[in-house]
């Protein structure tokens, strides 16, 4: 674990090798779905990943995250069923020509990954008034996403793959994992070893979408141009509210 130290540390840049390692983790990180091996993740390695997540930046130092580790096969099966129901609903939202490609994509590794991890955000942590969150109450959510990224990059450095599952009904996941109402589900991750990683993101390889050009995303001083709205996305209704996805569990 990281030793707690309250003294100053050097602000010097990393060595060439250290800097290259950071960028290697960033550029070779992949969202993994179906390639997980049955090899167990050692407990000390898992704790290093969680400790990396726990050292993410958080507004007001509120540290709003919790980590639910799921190893039980029966619970994984229940979560996989919840995913499968939502995935069928999601497929119907895309245009006809995209549905076949969507159906061919493997979008989770719930049953294959030895570790499933749910990262949550406790929106009451720190009390009603939190430094830095007084005028933007979403900062606790953004802080927890930083914890997800920390874990993901640390996992890449450890040779461990991560897949982010986002297709499920919130109420299903809350029921299965017993998550209270004041706690938000931020990420459901599948974690484990793999033999290899794709050299480019899988969705790009499969023709779902290409990486945008960085130069087209950089503005100077203020917003420029118009925002792209994909034809495959639900269009906002009144007050910017997206239409709800119908539930098959009702």
- In this structure, what CATH number is given to the domain that contains residue 74? 3.40.109.10
Helix (H) or strand (E) holding 203: helix 202-205
pLDDT at 233: 52
**How far apart are alpha carbons 188 and 163 in whole angstroms?**
8
Total domains in the fold of the chain:
1
Mean pLDDT, the chain cut into blocks of 10 residues (250 residues total)? 70 93 97 94 98 98 98 98 96 90 93 98 96 96 98 98 98 98 98 95 92 96 76 46 39
Q: How many CB atoms lie within 10 A of CB 180?
A: 9
Is 97 contained in some domain?
yes
Count CA atoms within 13 Å of residue 109 on its CB side: 24
Its pTM stands at 0.86
Is 2 contained in some domain?
no
Closest Cα to residue 165, out of 208, 241, 113, 242? 113
Containing domain of residue 191, as a range?
32-196
pLDDT at 228: 59
**How far apart are alpha carbons 71 and 69 in whole angstroms?**
7
Is 217 contained in some domain?
no
pLDDT at 229: 55
pLDDT at 225: 78
Is 128 contained in some domain?
yes
Count CA atoms within 13 Å of residue 73 on its CB side: 2
Is 95 contained in some domain?
yes
Is 228 contained in some domain?
no
Is 213 contained in some domain?
no
Is 150 contained in some domain?
yes
């Amino acid at each position: 674990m990281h030793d707690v130290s309250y003294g100053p540390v050097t602000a010097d840049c990393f060595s060439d090798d250290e800097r290259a390692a950071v960028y290697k983790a960033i550029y070779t990180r992949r969202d993994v779905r179906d390639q997980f091996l049955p090899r167990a993740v050692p407990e000390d390695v898992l704790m290093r990943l969680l400790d990396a997540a726990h050292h993410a930046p958080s507004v007001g130092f509120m540290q709003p995250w919790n980590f639910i580790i799921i190893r039980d096969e029966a619970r994984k099966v229940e979560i996989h069923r919840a995913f499968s129901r939502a995935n069928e609903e999601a497929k119907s939202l895309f245009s006809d020509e995209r549905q076949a490609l969507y159906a061919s994509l493997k979008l989770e590794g719930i049953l294959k990954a030895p570790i499933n991890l749910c990262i949550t955000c406790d929106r009451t942590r720190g009390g009603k008034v939190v430094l830095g969150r007084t005028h933007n109450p979403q900062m606790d959510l953004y802080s927890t996403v930083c914890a997800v990224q920390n874990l993901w990059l640390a996992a890449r450095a450890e040779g461990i793959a991560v897949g982010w599952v986002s297709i499920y009904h919130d109420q299903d996941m809350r029921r299965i994992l017993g998550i209270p109402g004041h706690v938000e589900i931020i990420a459901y991750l599948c974690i484990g070893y793999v033999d290899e990683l794709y050299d480019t993101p899988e969705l790009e390889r499969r023709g779902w979408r290409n990486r945008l050009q960085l130069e087209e995303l950089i503005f100077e001083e203020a917003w420029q141009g118009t925002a792209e709205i994909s034809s495959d996305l639900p269009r906002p209704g009144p007050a910017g509210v997206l239409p709800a996805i119908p539930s098959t569990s009702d």
